[in-house]
Amino acid sequence: MKNLKLFTLSLFFVLITTVTVNAQKATNPIIFADVPDLSMIRVGKVYYMSSTTMHMNPGVPIMKSTDLVNWKIVSYAYDTLGNTDELTLSNGKWDYGRGSWASSLRFHKGVYYVSTFSGTTGKTYIYSTKDIEKGQWKLTSFKPSLHDHSLFFEDDGKPYMVYGTGKITLVELKEDLSGIKPNTQPVTIIENASLPAGTGAGLPAEGSQLFKINGKYYLFNITWPRNGMRTVVVHRSDKLTGPYEGQVALKDQGVAQGGLINTPEGKWFSYLFRDFGSVGRIPYLVPVNWQDGWPVLGINGKVPETLELPVSKGLIPGIVASDEFNRKKGDPALPLVWQWNHNPDHAFLSLTKRPGFLRITTSRLDTNILLARNTLTQRTIGPVSTGTTLIDISGMKAGDQAGLMLLQRKFGWVGVKHTGSKKTVVAVSAQNGTVIGEDVPAGQQTIYLKARCDFENRTDKGYFSYSFDGKTWKPIGEPLQMSYTLPHFIGYRFGLFNYATENAGGYVDFDYFRIEAK
């Protein structure tokens, strides 16, 4: 009996130790939020990562980490990409799903570079700075728009871009990066980069990221064979111009598109992302071992659930954050977690007219919430997240609609509609239309609004509720069946909005936005 007790006690301590050790490990996904098209570098002991936010502004977010797991947004490459009707939501036009796409982040001779491209403007953009966190970015742009390119500096300093879909092409750039070098011709370095994954039609290989490691060139691409899944393909060569040989590097759970990063201690990982329903495209890290000069991704070809890296401290406040809209002298107008839906019109926005509040004033008439300018957004996060706001609606005019939304093509929102002489609580969705709630009591100037997102196991449900006192909450409308749509090409976002349908000049004051996560 004594031996049995000792055995049981020993087993208990082994189990507790195992659970404790596993609890201190990082888990995949490393960011349960929409952070697609990753490009990553390490400078000393610090990692930087860029991503895609398309039609959102400011654009091309730059994130920082010291452990590959815990990230925070530290800057953006640009405030706005341009000023066309599509980018400003003018004359019935919009730029959903376009804007700027997959970026390439590099560090060369003391300068940080992030490049991107746009189908909207037809240009390739290169931004540079010596201070990636606080410095001003210098812009160089040129035509054409080089699709899913990778910026690459050769050992002799010459700059190149590798780009393409299916057929991968190499071009040399001018020394000042202002365009393709004159009197040079594009070179096809891989005729069909999809071939290692099979010949079935589907998504041709794209998302190029090129690296030079121990004298060899490694090109990462994603391809998606018909009836298959998103697959990582790697090609290698002894020369920049080829010839390249390729093989499938990972085919598991659709985790794909990215590149390589190593730690100061010499450990290698591949940063990739996975389509995960309406929350968007979420980042994963996969361990990499080297065999016969090839990067071998995963554990026995699989994406591990846990990683030998520090545990995540959560996405708040580095990726998303609450905001009381209080600003001290010297503070930025908005924390970096916020992005505007398309270009903002700052003349109709204010954090000073009523200190401690965000005021959004209507400047024109709109017929569709997706055309409403000055909608302020930040990411939803998984597995479950809730956004709450308090709005002063006393400045609304007849025809105004304002509130808290879940933004995607199949949107939903809860808020107040000013009709005639009364204000009414409503829930509106692309799915269910308008659900009328109760009238706002006479003399009531504020209303609390809440939107909750459930992404667990791809449930993809959105729930709306409201309160007149902040204590008793009333659900309104049917649950929103959220859906990731390609026309918007971005995960759902919380949005604060106010738009007019009859009279311009009305305003609402947002007291705060608070986000909570499970």
R_g of the chain computed on alpha carbons: 25
**Residue 380 CB contacts under 8 Å (≥ 6 apart), including other chains:** 33, 34, 279, 387, 406, 453, 455, 491, 492, 493, 494
* Cα–Cα distance list, 499 to 55, 377, 411, 422 (Å): 19, 15, 15, 17
| Residue 163 to residue 97: CA distance in whole angstroms | 20
**Residue 252 CB contacts under 8 Å (≥ 6 apart), including other chains:** 298, 301, 302, 303
Q: Name the residue type at position 209.
A: Q
Residues forming the active site: 37, 206
Answer for the pair 404, 387: CB distance below 8 angstroms, yes or no: yes
Answer for the pair 236, 217: CB distance below 8 angstroms, yes or no: yes
Q: Which of 30, 65, 64 is nearest to 283 (CA)?
A: 30
Answer for the pair 134, 121: CB distance below 8 angstroms, yes or no: no
HSE-CB of 447 using CA atoms within 13 angstroms: 28
- Looking at residue 33, the DSSP 8-state letter turns out to be B
Q: Which of 471, 407, 381 is nearest to 55 (CA)?
A: 407
| Residue 214 to residue 315: CA distance in whole angstroms | 35
* Cα–Cα distance list, 175 to 117, 149, 420 (Å): 19, 18, 63
β-bridge pairing 401-407 and 493-499: antiparallel
- Looking at residue 274, the DSSP 8-state letter turns out to be E
* Cα–Cα distance list, 208 to 18, 74, 202, 223 (Å): 40, 25, 17, 11
HSE-CB of 239 using CA atoms within 13 angstroms: 6
